[in-house]
Chains A and B, each alone.
Chain A
């Protein structure tokens, strides 16, 4: 069973790295990009078990370590 965790910056938190990526894309001629926000993707390999329980456990991991909830949101997907 796999858990996929996306960690993104909350709305309103400045993202200078996203801005730099946006500038680079424009420099490469990719127009029409209206905004870039960068984040993290973490994949966890989990022992098989109850998917709902696993999701709750991974959410707890996010709260304690994987995300900093002052500035970041997270989503958890479980793939069985």
Chain B
């Protein structure tokens, strides 16, 4: 069979597109395709990554403009057919704005841009994104955002919790879910969520930024090696 193909969507203002491309290339053994936001068609791919950055300068609301760009209609269509879609940071904001994931990422409760490493508890290890971890594992990866404060209505939150759709939570180094470990005010310390069918993951932290020893850590790498294995299978 042919090698799995991966697309990285690039918007004006994306700035983690190269980071995730390099990380995916290391895991896959070949480079992903970079797909420009104005394209209205997407080749058949096995994985779509929506990278971090400040698409369209965060005008109106973070991710709002990008969510309405031509390429996102294709991303939504492919997600509906079960293609895994990974949105990181601004990518998560775009996925909520386009309706692939519920809720919204509001301004951080502190009103400050936060750029530092955080501890995350892996809540699910039985997804295509997290099978390289164990449930309950604590991993350390960076956050870098101004709008990462996850909010949704109580019914949606209950449904996320009841259906195990929280993939990652901000935690203390021992895995405890505490207010002190919550960097941005997110409901229930939510750092990443899945869609109903488990093939779309949005998360604010950046696993692609700590996936190489040269960068000071590799806790993010298992996500990409697991994804590469899953789509090659």
Binding site for B on A (CB under 8 A): 13-14, 16-17, 20, 64-66, 68, 70-71
Contacts and interface: CB of A to CB of B under 8 A. Distances in A.
A68 B104 contact: yes
Interface of B: 60-61, 64, 68, 96-97, 102-104, 106-111, 151-153, 185
B103 A70 contact: yes
Nearest to A67: B61
B111 A17 contact: yes
Contacts of A20: 111
B64 A68 contact: yes
Contacts, number: 34
Contact of B104 (A17, A66, A71): A71
5 contacts: A13-B106, A13-B151, A14-B106, A16-B110, A70-B152
A62 B122 CA distance: 36
Contact of B68 (A13, A17, A65, A71): A65
B103 A17 contact: no
Given A14-B106, A68-B104, 6 more contacts: A14-B109, A68-B61, A70-B96, A70-B103, A70-B151, A70-B153
B97 A68 contact: yes
Contacts of B103: 70
B64 A14 contact: no
A68 B104 CA distance: 8
Given A13-B151, A71-B104, A64 B68 contact: yes
